Amino acid sequence: MTVIDGKAVSAKVKTEVAEEIKVLCSGGKRAPSLAVVLVGDDPASQVYVRNKKKACELCGITSLEYLLGGDASESELLELINRLNSDPEVDGILVQMPLPRQIDASNVTKAIDPSKDVDAFHPENVGKLFLGAPEFLPCTPAGVMRLLKEYGIEVCGKNCLVVGRSNIVGKPMAALLLAENGTVTVAHSKTKDLKSLAQNADIIVAACGRPGMIAGDMVKPGAVLIDVGITRVDGALKGDVDFDSCAEKAGFITPVPGGVGPMTIAMLMKNTLAAYKKHVC
């Protein structure tokens, strides 16, 4: 059994991005820039935003931070997005989710210029992904694909089970696995007999936010277990895969933390570089 080292792969991706930026900017061009918008003071979101800023610094990306109060209106946020859309110095725009309840996240997602949509949440980018011609890859699913690639795990013809159907992870994850010719099943809260689906899967991507949902007796020997879940339970971070009971049966398994988590930000850096190349190069 191999424990997949997401921290190491994330560091490798960030180094690749940093090196490419160094070359691109050596002629005196401005650095790529990422605008991160945080509304309110959710502690988990503050941690994410801080980590994004650190990754930007490491890669040579200018990070611009916009903090709005938790009582900010939707029109206030849309106004800021419009300003960032028309600013030629801004390559990527990321609005940290979740948003306070007075703001409709889908209006916000739709307002971001698709060419600056480094989360790949805009309907145009979602559509392009499902048509097989993506411009930006959604960060977490793209991070999972990169982990599979780094560890030489073939997807073609494999039974892939995605547990969870969120717009951020489950649905785009299924699209990316399908694009690599996996045979993809998407399970969700209404799925009957998850256990038999899981036992038949060569690759499981668990992204349902239920700690320990995938247990050892549900897993085929040698299966690849990718855990996207992160839930705080009694102060500790727990994944959707029960690591202890699954590790002995799995061929590959991602830990929580230190598996998929660090990949999301690394892929965001890659998308910001891709946006910069569209705008500047």
Task: Report the alpha-carbon distance of residue 60 to residue 276 in Å, rounded.
Answer: 12
Residue nearest to ligand GUN as judged by C-beta position: 97
DSSP states along 40-52:
S--HHHHHHHHHH
Tokens 């790949």 label which residue?
120
Per DSSP, 68 falls in state: E
Task: Please state the closest distance from residue 23 (CB atom) to ligand GUN, in A.
Answer: 27
Closest CA to 203 of 159, 238, 243: 159
Contact characters 215-244, ligand GUN, x per CB under 6 A: ------------------------------
Smaller CB separation from ligand GUN, 186 or 266: 266
Q: Reduced to 3 states, what is the DSSP secondary structure of residue 255?
A: coil
Q: Are 59 and 271 in contact (CB under 8 A)?
A: no
Contact characters 179-208, ligand GUN, x per CB under 6 A: ------------------------------
Radius of gyration of the chain from Cα atoms?
19
94 binds ligand GUN (CB under 6 A): yes
Task: Report the alpha-carbon distance of residue 194 to residue 181 in Å, rounded.
Answer: 22
83: its two tokens: 């300003």
**Catalytic-labelled residue, pool 5, 96, 238, 270:** 96
Smaller CB separation from ligand GUN, 53 or 249: 53
Task: Please state the closest distance from residue 54 (CB atom) to ligand GUN, in A.
Answer: 16
Tokens 């038949």 label which residue?
200
32 cis-preceded (ω within 30 degrees of 0): no
Q: Is 54 an active-site residue? A: no
97 binds ligand GUN (CB under 6 A): yes
Per DSSP, 240 falls in state: S
If binding means CB under 6 A, how many residues of this protein chain bind ligand GUN? 9
Q: Which amino acid is at 165?
A: R
* Total Cβ atoms within 10 A of residue 75: 10
Task: Please state the closest distance from residue 242 (CB atom) to ligand GUN, in A.
Answer: 23
Q: What residues between 155 and 184 interact with ligand GUN by CB under 6 A?
A: 168
Q: What are the φ and ψ backbone dihedral angles of 240, each rounded to 5 degrees?
A: -80, -15
95 binds ligand GUN (CB under 6 A): yes
5 binds ligand GUN (CB under 6 A): no
Task: Please state the closest distance from residue 96 (CB atom) to ligand GUN, in A.
Answer: 5
Could you tell me which stretch among 94-102, 192-200, 219-227, 255-263 binds ligand GUN (CB under 6 A)? 94-102
CA contacts within 13 A on the Cβ side of 257 = 11
264 binds ligand GUN (CB under 6 A): yes
Q: Is 227 an active-site residue? A: no
Task: Please state the closest distance from residue 169 (CB atom) to ligand GUN, in A.
Answer: 9
Residue ranges binding ligand GUN (CB under 6 A)? 94-97, 119, 139-140, 168, 264
* Catalytic site positions: 52, 96, 119
